Amino acid sequence: MQLITDKFSVPTQSAPHLKREKLLKNLQDSVNNHLSTLIVGRAGTGKTALAADLVCVCGRRVAWLKAEASDREYPVFLEYLFESVKKQRPRFNSEKLLKVVATQTVEDISRTAEAFINELIESGNEPLLVVIDDLHHLYDSEWAVPFFNRLLPFLPSEFHFVLIGRSIPPAPLWRMRSKQTLNVIDEKMLALAPEEAMSLFLNYGLTATKAFIFNEDMNGRIGDVNTVAIYYREQRPS
């Protein structure tokens, strides 16, 4: 299969960019103290931008994968996932795993997760961050819940998965919160604080007078507040 290489690229941040220090610290603490993190919120809440900022400060190699609806067939998704890891871990034997996948059915997906974990362990012990963006595209796939339900609780300590989605995942994954396996950064936490909205306006060279009002009207959704800031910057006399 011909892989789309853009799916492995960490998104570039727009300029000017608001670095959200409090949320970023929360995410860094999650990487250090949990096996996995879920960032969940609707479009425009800043999920992907937050994860991209983490890439710059986490001090780990990062395997990034953007999931799409076309990845719902598990052999397709797994080939992308294995390749994203191999790009950061050259010793990771993705070819061996793909041969295993080719002999299994969706009912064997838990065994596939175990084989993946074993290969992660054998590929080295350097800390690795794996980010899967837009995971909500895969929630309805019959293999997704059993795969991640088996994978996440048994990850070696030097690995951390960040899963990004627009909606809450199915119940078995969501319940991992209570076992300290999965930390959650939700839409309420992603909402801009008033001082962050003002900083965003200042980053665009605008006065912060109306930032508080716009932020409140838009429920702290950073994408919407950013759009307003761009509009007002473009309306300024040159």
Residues 126-135 have pLDDT tens digits of 999 999 999 9
Q: What band does 174 get if pLDDT is binned at 50, 70 and 90?
A: confident
| pLDDT of 235 over the 90 cut | no
My answer on whether 174 and 146 are in the same domain is: yes
Q: What is the distance between the alpha carbons of residues 142 and 152, in angstroms, rounded to a whole number?
A: 17
Let me know whether 168 and 206 are in one domain: no
Least confident of 73-87, 124-138, 169-183, 215-229: 169-183
Distance in angstroms (rounded) separating the CA atoms of residues 212 and 217:
9
Q: What's the number of domains the chain is made of?
A: 2
Instruction: Band the pLDDT of 69: cuts 50, 70, 90.
Output: very high
Which pLDDT belongs to residue 109?
A: 93
* Co-location of 112 and 218 in the same domain: no
Q: Which residue has the higher pLDDT, 192 or 15?
A: 192
49 and 106 share a domain? yes
Same domain, 21 and 103: yes
Residues 106 and 210 occupy one common structural domain: no
- By residue count, the chain amounts to 238
- Say whether both 100 and 208 belong to one domain: no
Contact between residue 144 and residue 138 where contact means Cβ atoms under 8 Å apart: yes
CATH number, domain at 35? 3.40.50.300
What is the C-alpha to C-alpha distance for residues 236 and 238, in angstroms, rounded to an integer?
6
Q: Per DSSP, what are the bridge partners of residue 228?
A: none
- Exposed/middle/buried for 207, CB within 10 Å: 0-12, 13-18, 19+? exposed
Rounded CA gap, 124 and 132, in Å? Answer: 21
Q: Which domain holds residue 98?
A: 5-190
Cβ atoms of 64 and 133 within 8 Å: the answer is: yes
Same domain, 228 and 212: yes
CB 109 within 8 A of CB 141: no
Q: Are residues 123 and 167 in the same domain?
A: yes
Last residue of a domain, one of 158, 173, 190: 190
Backbone angles phi, psi at 31, to 5 degrees: -60, -35
DSSP state for residue 16 in the 8-state scheme:
S
Residue 133 and residue 99 share a domain: yes
CA distance 8 to 114: 23
Does 11 sit behind a cis peptide bond, omega within 30 degrees of 0 on the bond before it?
Answer: no
177 and 102 share a domain?
A: yes
64 in Cβ contact with 84 (< 8 Å):
yes
Q: Please tell me whether residues 107 and 204 are part of one structural domain.
A: no
The whole-number pLDDT of residue 201 equals: 92
